[in-house]
Amino acid sequence: MKMTFKIILIGGLIVFFAVVTVVVFTPAMIWKPAQTVVGERRNVDQERGRVLFYSNGCNYCHTQYVRDVDNGMGATSDGGDYVFDNPMILGSERTGPDLSHIGRKRSMQWEVDHMRAPREYSPMSIMPSFGFLGDKDMRTISEYLFHLGDRTAAERMVSSPAPYATTTAPKMAQAIPSNDPSAPPQGWPTFIDSTLYDGKLIYTARCLTCHGCAGNGLGHYAGTLIVTPANFKEEPFRDMPDDQWFWHVSEGIQGSVMPPWRESLNVAQRWAVIRYVQEVYAHPFERDPNEGDVPKAYDKKNPLPATLDNIQAGKETWTRECLPCHGDAATGEGPYRRNIIPLPPSFTDKNHYDPFTDGDYFWRISEGVPWTAMPTWKVQYTEMQRWQLVVYIRTMFTQTTKRPADPPKSERFNYPAIYKTLHLPKAATYEAGKKQFLVLCSHCHGLTGAGDGAAGSYLNPKPADLRKLKTGIKTGEGSDNYEGSLLSRMTFGIRNSAMPSWGEFLPEHERWTDVRFVKESFVDGKPTPASVMGDGRVPAPYVRTDPGIFQSEIGTISPDAGKPLYDQYCAACHGSDGQGAGPGTKTLASGAPAALPKDMSNAYIFSRIRAGAPDTMMYGFDPLLQEIDIWNLTAYIRQLTGGVWGG
């Protein structure tokens, strides 16, 4: 057949219509998907809103189609979702978020306001304003959006995609504890049999730097990330189902640097670390570690002498890794101890720790402690570093190894010369330093800086009396630059003492806030005006503070329970009689506070105890005291100042 133009044209049209028939008409005739709950019929307003949505080009940026590979957009789309869409317009591209399941996630008024002024609700949005449509049309579009998807208000967590959605955790190993007192300890054998030891090793090696040894997402690397790592002790992570755990550990977290651990950990290893996190951080409960005796491999004498350099090296490791849970004075009251079960121990318990050998410490530091959050530090630190840590613990805390003689002052404060040239930056605020001093320093140095904090009472040498700091810096360092000298002491600590090398734990800007508080409170002086305690004005959030509601719904308030708290936290400044001449104010550069005035309201007293007094040494004790403690203190102070509690 001769290929004439006519034949080519007719043949082309036949092929074209055949393709259209196969691709367009045939699917339309045979496509009969089962309707899903998403695919509901729309009412008149919703249908009109759909027309407005597409006629105004919203589909150019907002798709309505979730693929298998998508995360964070709801369930994967099904043909039955679109049975009432005619024509079916799924959108062009995802310049903005996919809207497949946007229904009920935001109110209709929110959608109207967002269409009118997008950058009021999403500052980085490139969406234009659709205010020109008028309130009626925008409301109609919001009716359509409110109807989309599963129409469930809460989408609290991104759902696990297939195949993770059906993942179930393997059964935990079974162990039957023996009632025979002569049987070997059950701590380590059952801990190992449960695979939690394997999980501890993996967590210490791969997870600890971000999620922290306390599992609260505050590891040393956490502050360098775009997204703060998960705190396993809080929701929604605490009660995540197993499939979510396995998905996140396997694939990582979008928008974060959480790695896809399936690339380097097999299935058993991933489940082991998940089990460890669940049992030790997310849902801990009190168990007896029952460690048994030191294994022969660890039953050694420390090969390192108690030199100044070994003590300092051990201190730096302690400050980085041990202080968050055990505390800087090793009393078990570190800043991250919250919800750790069992609680970190206090090394001041001489009956327990005096018999400990070098091997006892080295073993526990290296392997951790079964059924606890104590990491296996052997995977992070060399044998020498772990022995240096033993030296530090035994000389400064248990004091079962003799502390070497102090070096000359010229060496004790021999810090880099650059510190003598540094001065307080404006960004370092007094209030931030006050809170940090209360939480991290007052337990050793005392609330008035007198060196009489309870946690430091057993230390040798004793914590410094910060009221003598001005003279101490001059004689110790020969410097009048108190700011740079204070920063150097906080950064490197004091050699041959338990004063932490805070530069290992606190960023420079946080150390500077401490410097400002210490300098202004204990060196320069920051007197408290009498009006601060006597003006009677209550901060707005405390106006409706009501002890009656507290007692009826939470607990009983007792002035008697407030007295020991007053003696511990208030008497040093305010005196036992509330007249302001507390023993801690002697030689204090900031002087003594005025006498507590009479007729203070409950709300006023409560607010001062909880939030403190701005720009004065009066701390806000919220980080240290529970609400019942503050109410008990309030009741006691009310009586101390001549009032009648409950009258």
Distance CA 232, CA 240 (A): 10
pLDDT at residue 482 is higher than 90: no
The dihedral built from the CA positions of residue 153, 157, 159 and 165, taken in this order, carries a sign that is negative
Q: Would you say how long the chain is, in residues?
A: 647
Per-residue model confidence as pLDDT tens digits over 410-443: 778 878 989 989 999 999 999 999 999 999 999 9
pLDDT in tens, 39-52: 989 999 999 999 99
Is-contact 631 549, C-beta < 8 A? no
Distance CA 145, CA 558 (A): 55
Q: What are phi and psi of 316, to 5 degrees?
A: -65, -40
Whole-angstrom CA distances from 401 to 302, 328, 361, 397, 398 are: 11, 19, 13, 10, 8
DSSP string, 333-359: --TT-TT-SSPPPPTT-HHHHTT--HH
Tokens 């599963």 appear where? 150
**Whose CA is closest to 580, among 572, 591, 567, 592?**
592
pLDDT computed for residue 302 by the predictor: 98
Does the domain at 530-640 match CATH 3.40.140.10? Answer given as no
Q: How far apart are CA 56 and CA 136, in angstroms?
A: 15
d(Cα 113, Cα 633) in Å, to the nearest integer?
A: 47
Element (H, E) at 68: none
Homologous superfamily, domain 44-147: Cytochrome c-like domain (1.10.760.10)
According to CATH, the topology of domain 409-524 is Cytochrome Bc1 Complex; Chain D, domain 2 (1.10.760)
- Asked if pLDDT for residue 647 goes beyond 60, the answer is no
Copy the structure tokens of residue 595.
Answer: 């006498």
Q: What is the pLDDT of residue 184?
A: 62
Q: Which pLDDT score is estimated for 382? A: 97
Q: Identify the CATH class of 187-282.
A: mainly alpha
CB-based contact 336:216 (threshold 8 Å): yes
Q: Alpha-carbon distance 89 to 203, whole Å?
A: 47
Helices (H), 59-117: 108-116
pLDDT of residue 226: 80
Of the pLDDT bands very low, low, confident and very high (cuts 50, 70, 90), residue 445 is very high
pTM score above 0.85: yes
Please provide the DSSP assignment of 108-151 as one string.
Answer: HHHHHHHHH-HHHH-TT--PPP-GGGHHHHHHHHHHHHHHSTT-
Is the distance from CB of 572 to CB of 583 less than 8 angstroms?
yes
Identify the pLDDT of residue 301: 97
pLDDT of 162 reads 78
Both structure tokens of 150: 């599963």
Q: What is the mean pLDDT of residues 403-413?
A: 86
How far apart are the C-alpha atoms of 360 and 342, rounded to whole Å? 19
Cβ atoms 200, 375 nearer than 8 A: yes
Of 480 and 340, the one with more pLDDT = 340
Rounded to whole angstroms, the Cα distance separating 390 from 379 reads: 17
Q: For 518-567, how does the pLDDT look when each residue is reduced to its tens digit (9 = 90+)?
A: 999 999 998 877 666 666 789 899 999 999 999 999 999 999 999 999 99
DSSP 3-state of 74: coil
Between 162 and 296, name the one with better pLDDT.
296
Nearest to 358 by CA among 292, 403, 303, 289: 303
Tell me the CA end-to-end span of the chain in Å, nearest whole number: 114
Q: How confident is the model at residue 178 (pLDDT cuts 50, 70, 90)?
A: low
Cα-based distances in Å from 574 to 228, 578, 641: 41, 5, 12
For domain 308-397, say whether CATH 1.10.760.10 is its number.
yes
Q: What is the torsional sign of CA 461, 465, 468, 470?
A: positive
Could you tell me the CA-to-CA distances from 458 to 326, 390, 405, 446 in Å, in that order? 16, 19, 18, 14
* 593: Cα separation from own chain's centroid: 35
> Over 90: is that where the pLDDT of 17 sits?
no
At 368, list the tokens. Answer: 């951790």
What is the spatial distance between Cα 31 and Cα 20, in angstroms, rounded to a whole number? 15
Q: What is the mean pLDDT of residues 227-248?
A: 93
pLDDT score, position 534: 61
Matching fold, domains 187-282 and 409-524: yes
**Each residue of 286-305: pLDDT tens digit?**
988 888 899 999 999 999 99
Q: What is the pLDDT of residue 512?
A: 97
Q: By three-state DSSP, how is residue 319 classified? A: helix
* Non-local CB neighbours of 625 within 8 Å, separated by 6+ positions: 565, 569, 609, 610, 633
Q: Is 375 helix (H, G, I), strand (E, B) or coil?
A: coil
**Residue 399 phi/psi, 5° resolution?**
55, 40
Task: Indicate the pLDDT class of residue 1, thresholds 50, 70 and 90.
Answer: low
Domain residue extents for the chain:
1-31, 44-147, 187-282, 308-397, 409-524, 530-640
| Spatial separation of the C-alpha atoms in residues 563 and 581, rounded to whole Å | 18
- Structure tokens that stand for 264 in this block: 């380097």
Task: Report the pLDDT value the prediction gives residue 224, as an integer from 0 to 100.
Answer: 81
The overall average pLDDT reported for the chain is 91
Helix intervals (H) in 226-266: 242-251
